Amino acid sequence: RDGRWAYTSSTEVIDVKAHKIATVLKDEHGKPFCSSKFVEVDFDGAGNVKTVGDQFGVGRVTKAGG
């Protein structure tokens, strides 16, 4: 959502600024997991959902007129 990470359709999550693999997505069994569909959920410090988004930009809110 903020452009820090690039989610590939393979298993890697890329740190955009460093141009390096930050992590590999894994399923509940620890096996690498890949998909072309992603959803991002950001939580606040109390564990509540703060913002959501997906690879299509759904969930983004912009200010009207600016």
Residue 13, class by beta-carbon neighbours within 10 Å (0-12 exposed, 13-18 middle, 19+ buried)?
middle
- Give yes or no for a contact between 1 and 60, defined as CB atoms under 8 angstroms apart: yes
pTM above 0.75, yes or no: no
pLDDT of residue 33: 86
* Both structure tokens of 64: 């009207």
- Provide the 3-class DSSP secondary structure of residue 34: coil
pLDDT, one tens digit for every residue, the chain (66 residues): 677 888 887 889 899 999 999 999 899 999 998 887 777 888 999 999 988 877 666 655 666 654
- How far apart are the C-alpha atoms of 17 and 4, rounded to whole Å? 7
46-53 long-range contacts (CB < 8 A, ≥24 apart) are 51/1, 53/1
